């Protein structure tokens, strides 16, 4: 039995040695494959990191395109405005002409703030204010959002931006009294800072302002009035991307008799409203009665609806983080004004 068993034991040992060697080779291949995979993975991530660590200015310069949303104002209200072409526009950056590389014109949705004076001086105009505000709501398109802000000695947000026309009209109907002082400058600045988007926005912003413009801070007008000066307000108006359409409510005769407001205050108020209109490229509309505004509703909506998109690559490629002033002019059309953002800050070079 021993002789017979020995060969069997020898065969089993060889088999075990052969199996162990085979397993060793398999394990070696697995470890080698894992090592190669880890090495390739390391190379991949090294390349990704290296690409991300390349100077950002190269990518920023190549992809830098200044995009301007431009509204054109000043068309005659009785005639449909023509659709302008790229050749009608000239873009200046820090006074230097820029090559327009992208141009498009489209009907674009906008956000409209109805900004209504409900101070005591406008109490006799309350019915007209409500009716004209509703006319503006009706004149807007379904894609345009509307907000309602009223003001006396402080602003009051009556309605956030909404597409719900029924709710807007209900909010307007609920305006049932006008009383108190007038902090016009502070209230308009509130709208510019809180409701108008700062920086890039796909929607244009506009404010329809209905007021007599007499802030209690004006000389010889009773009451404390606004804290900010008008010079500060007009600077904010010029730097805002919002377009303001001021409507002057003529309350002079009533208020001179009732509140003994000096006529000089009304003259200053009209001049200041004119400055706001001029800064925005709009017209100062006057309203003594409702029919005075018949043409205003459609003109305002028409001027806001068409937006021109202009794109250019700045000739100044310096990444210094400095302010670049931007101006858009209309070639051969002196009666028209192009309204867009007033500039931007260049990107800052990121040191490695």
Q: Which of 31-45, 61-75, 159-173 has the lowest mean pLDDT?
A: 31-45
User: What confidence score (pLDDT) does residue 12 get?
Assistant: 44
Query: Tell me: the pLDDT tens digits for 292-306?
Result: 888 888 888 888 888
- The DSSP annotation for 128-171 comes to HHHHHHHHHHHHS-TT-EEEEEEESSSEEEEEEEES-HHHHHHH
57-105+306-345 is classed CATH 1.10.10: no
pTM of the predicted model over 0.95: no
Crossing angle between the packed helical segments 230-239 and 263-280, to the nearest 10 degrees: 20
CATH classification (class only), 107-305 = alpha beta
Query: Tell me: the pLDDT tens digits for 29-64?
Result: 555 555 544 545 444 444 433 333 333 222 233 348
Kindly list the domain boundaries of the chain, sorted by start residue. 1-53, 57-105+306-345, 107-305
């Amino acid at each position: 039995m021993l002789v017979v068993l020995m060969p069997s034991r020898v065969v089993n040992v060889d088999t075990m040695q052969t199996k162990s060697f085979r397993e060793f080779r398999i394990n070696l291949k697995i470890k080698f494959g894992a090592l190669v995979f880890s090495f390739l993975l390391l190379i991949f991530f090294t390349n990704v990191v290296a690409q991300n660590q390349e100077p950002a200015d190269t990518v920023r310069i190549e992809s830098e395109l200044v995009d301007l949303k431009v509204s054109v104002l000043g068309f005659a209200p009785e005639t449909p405005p023509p659709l302008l072409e790229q050749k009608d526009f000239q873009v200046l950056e820090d006074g230097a002409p820029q090559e327009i590389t992208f141009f498009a014109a489209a009907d674009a949705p906008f956000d409209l703030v109805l900004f209504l004076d409900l101070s005591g001086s406008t109490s006799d105009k309350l019915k007209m204010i409500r009716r004209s505000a509703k006319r503006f709501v009706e004149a807007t398109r379904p894609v345009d959002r509307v907000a309602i802000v009223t003001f006396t000695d402080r602003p009051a947000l009556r309605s956030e931006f909404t597409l719900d026309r029924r709710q807007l009209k209900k909010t307007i109907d609920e305006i049932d009294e006008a009383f108190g002082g007038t902090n016009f400058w502070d209230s308009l600045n509130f709208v510019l800072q809180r409701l108008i988007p700062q920086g890039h926005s796909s929607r244009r912003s506009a404010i329809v302002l209905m007021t007599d413009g007499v802030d209690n801070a004006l000389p010889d007008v009773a009451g404390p009035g606004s804290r900010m000066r008008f010079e500060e307000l007009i600077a904010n108006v010029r730097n805002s991307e919002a377009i303001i359409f001021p409507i002057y409510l003529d309350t002079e005769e009533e208020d001179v008799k009732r509140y003994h407001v000096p006529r000089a205050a009304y003259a200053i108020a009209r001049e200041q409203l004119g400055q706001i209109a001029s800064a925005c490229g709009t017209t100062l509309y006057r309203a003594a009665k409702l029919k005075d505004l018949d043409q205003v509703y459609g003109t305002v909506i028409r001027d806001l609806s068409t937006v021109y998109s202009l794109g250019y690559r700045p000739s100044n490629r310096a990444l210094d983080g400095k302010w670049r002033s931007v101006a858009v002019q209309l070639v051969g059309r002196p009666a028209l004004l192009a309204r867009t953002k007033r500039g931007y800050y260049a990107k800052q070079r990121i040191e490695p």
